[in-house]
Amino acid sequence: MSSEDQDAQEDELLALASIFPKDEFKRSETSQGGELQACLDLPPNFEILIKGDAAANFFNEHFHNSISFLPPIVLHFELPSDYPSASPPNFTLSCKWLSPKQLARLCQHLDDLWVENAGCVVLFAWTQFLKEETLEHLCITSPHEIEVCPIVCQDWSESSDTAECSSAACSLEEASLDRRAIQDVESVSALIKCILDFNESQQKKCFESKSYMCNICFSEKLGNECTYFKVCHHVYCNICIKDYFEIQIQDGQVHSMNCPEPKCPSTATPAQVKELVGEELFSRYDRLLLQSSLDLMPDVVYCPRPSCRTPVVQEPSCNMGICLSCHYAFCTLCKLAYHGIIHCNLTSEKLPMVLKEYLAADEKHRRFLEKKYGKKIMYDAMEVESQDWLKNYSKRCPRCAAHIEKIDGCNKIHCTKCKEFFCWLCMKILDKTNPYDHYNDSRATCYGLVMQI
């Protein structure tokens, strides 16, 4: 290697290291070479479609228009001893979402750029072309449909001038492509995962590098000091949202880990909560969240033993639960020892309270109480309650014995059943022609008491 080539190579590698961040340029430790990653700037509202199986259809239905970043085109290069004076860099070009045919066209253009710049360093020009002109050069427009040619189809035989494909699924055209072009993805599912992961990481990277106004304390902070709600796009600084989440968890409001903006439906992910509140509070959050979720499941109850309280799945054919921890068999309605098909025991002391609950309940809760204690007991209790009420708050008509309640008005009562008039005080039947004479007769016990309560 001439000293001129050696100096040019070293200067170029140092320049690349100063221009590109570490995640875009990696210099080889064992040779004069390295790796350059070209991330493309996609146009706004650029849609991605994937050709393939059910996983691809799911991606096309749910994610195709939410992708802002695609995995980079990776340029692996090694500098020969006579570069740049005579020979170009040896390289391969790999990408997960460009087909081998498309990558081959890019390889050809890199060759053309070397011819145009023969004798000069060319890696920066190659990278700029890949980053800025790939879409135009390949005539890629939105929506762009990605085809997957598995990496197994790109095994090349070093001993032959003609490329050989190890998979019968590859066409002769694909097998004859530039062997420097590699679509390094194994399956449609692997490609989808890679696209979604890379898109999320790049969105996070962009978010962390910008400044935002916290909607709580109204101070401006960098994104790496803030929390972002994906659905509503509201941003809060970590200090404010951490205090908010800690109060919610301490109060047991684990289903309220939502955006603090009033009426906003966005909720924080468990990963966001864990990152903000720490391990101890997150363990409480996780436990309460599990418990509240179990409480919402109609076939899950808790072992009634205070020392156990293990969640138990109710037997589908009866009201029995068997705790897998302490092996206690219990009735899921009354939480006492299982009593078979016999209704739950209802004591005379407890009956008035249950009856009051039954009378005030909606139809669903009434059915539950009937199932628990038996419909007959509920109806018999209502009958007894009705008789007691009639005894305490009504009187019988002296003519037809109908129960009558006096709410207000005078003591002259008119029975709506037999149409008879009678006195509420002495229960005497009154004259229909002039019933009030009873209260004007000085000899009667009810004299002058027509309005007495």
**Residues carrying an active site annotation:** 410
Those residues whose C-beta lies under 8 Å from the C-beta of residue 199, and which sit 6 or more positions away, are 66, 67, 68, 69, 70
Q: Among residues 148, 142, 144, 149, which one has the least CA distance to residue 165?
A: 149
Helix (H, G, I), strand (E, B) or coil at 214: coil
Two structure tokens written together for 73: 């085109």
Kindly state the greatest CA–CA separation across the chain: 145
Those residues whose C-beta lies under 8 Å from the C-beta of residue 242, and which sit 6 or more positions away, are 276, 277
Residue 361 is given by DSSP the state: S
Q: Among residues 261, 289, 263, which one has the least CA distance to residue 274?
A: 289
| Own/partner pairs, 242-246, CB within 8 angstroms, 24+ separation | 242/276, 242/277, 244/216, 245/273, 245/276, 245/277, 246/277, 246/281
338-370 burial string, b = 16+ CB within 10 Å, else e? beeeebbebeeeebeebbeebeeeeeeebeebb
**CA atoms of 119 and 124, how far apart (whole Å):** 14
CA 249 to chain CA centroid, Å, is 18
**CA atoms of 75 and 124, how far apart (whole Å):** 11
Backbone angles phi, psi at 234, to 5 degrees: -80, 145
Question: Helix 123-137 vs helix 3-19: angle between axes, to the nearest 10 degrees?
Answer: 50
